[in-house]
Copies of this chain bind each other. A is one copy, B any other.
C-alpha cells in the first residue's frame, strides 16, 4: 500500500465536529472559528528518505521542514501563525547539530512571524522531523484544489525545476554556473505566502503548491475540480541559468522536479489583471502557463501539454520521489 492510498483509506467521509470546513484531501485542513477560519497541516521528513546529510546541512534540514509546511499554508491562502515540532533523534546526533536544525526552523518561521508553541523530541534509530503548522484565513477565503472552472487561466509563480537542478549539482560532480543560486533554491526554498494571502480579495482562486512537480500538482487540481488542464511547454517558467542543462533535463525538471514550493493555480480570466497586480506588489514572478478545459471523457480528468509545434499530448502522471528514484527518472 503506498502513502496515497493509505491516507485515502483512513479519510473520514462525514465529520462529527460542526466546525470542520475541510478535512483530509487538500494541502491542509480547515475548521471555522468566529470571524475566521483556521488552517492546519502536518508533514514528516525522514533522513535518507526525504533529505540526506550529503546535500543538506542541519540548518537546511530545519529550514526546509518548516518551509514545506508553510508552503501548504500558502497553497490554502492562509497566513502562518504557529508551528509545533516533533522530532526523532538518534543518540549519535551531536547537540550542536540539533541546535543548527532548530536555528534553520526559526529562520524560516521568523520570516512569517510564526511562534513555536509545542513539540517533543524522542530518541530513535533515524532522524525524523515532523512539523505541524497552524494559520489563519478570512472566513470562506481558504483556497482549494477543487474550485477550477473551464476557461480559467492557469498560472505558476517563480521558476520551476531549480530545486531539482540544485540537487543535481550537489550530487553529480561537474562544472556548473550559478551554483550558489541553485543550492539556495534547493536548500532554502521560500514559499509564496505574501502572494497567496494577497489574493484574499478574490472570490475564487484555485491554488496548489508545487512540492512534487507542476505536472503532479496540476493533475491534483484537474482531479479535484473535475476538469482537464492544458499546459504550454514553452510557457512553463524557468530561470535563465537553468538553460545550462540539456533540453531533456530542463523538460524533466520543470515539469516533474519537486520541492520548488512555488504555486500553481487557476483564476477566471476577468481576475487575471488583479492577480498580476498582486504578483507585482509582492515581487512574485508570475506566468500564465495554460488553460482549464472541460474534460473530454466524463470521469477522466487529465493534464495535457502542448509543445512548440502545437502538438498536444497527455502529460504522464509521475510524482517526485525525493532521494529514492532520482536516477531512474532521467
Contacts and interface: CB of A to CB of B under 8 A. Distances in A.
Nearest to A106: B10
Chain copies in the assembled complex = 2
B42 A118 contact: yes
Interface residues of A, number: 64
A122 B44 contact: yes
A118 B73 CA distance: 13
Interface stretch (A109-117, A177-185, A242-250, A307-315): A109-117
B84 A42 contact: yes
B44 A6 contact: no
Given A15-B115, A33-B34, A115-B16, A134 B40 contact: yes
A234 interface: no
A118 B23 CA distance: 6
A117 B1 CA distance: 21
A170 interface: no
A23 B119 contact: no
Interface string A1-20: 10100110111100111011
Nearest to A113: B16
Contact of A130 (B11, B86, B116): B86
Interface in A45-73: 45-46, 49-50
A16 B79 CA distance: 13
A20 B117 contact: yes
Nearest to A118: B29
A40 B40 CA distance: 11
Contacts of A31: 81-82, 117, 134
A113 B17 CA distance: 7
A269 interface: no
Contact of A40 (B9, B33, B118): B118
Interface stretch (A95-103, A145-153, A217-225, A277-285): A95-103
A41 interface: yes
A26 to B, nearest CB: 9
A3 B34 contact: no
Interface in A126-150: 126, 128, 130, 132, 134
Nearest to A101: B10
A145 to B, nearest CB: 15
A114 B221 CA distance: 28
A69 to B, nearest CB: 10
Interface of A: 1, 3, 6-7, 9-12, 15-17, 19-20, 22-24, 28-29, 31, 33-36, 38, 40-46, 49-50, 81-82, 84-89, 95, 98-99, 102, 106, 113-126, 128, 130, 132, 134
30 contacts: A3-B120, A3-B121, A3-B123, A6-B98, A10-B85, A10-B116, A10-B119, A11-B116, A12-B116, A15-B115, A16-B113, A17-B113, A17-B115, A22-B117, A23-B116, A23-B117, A24-B116, A24-B118, A29-B117, A29-B118, A42-B86, A42-B118, A42-B119, A42-B132, A44-B128, A46-B122, A46-B124, A88-B128, A126-B126, A132-B132
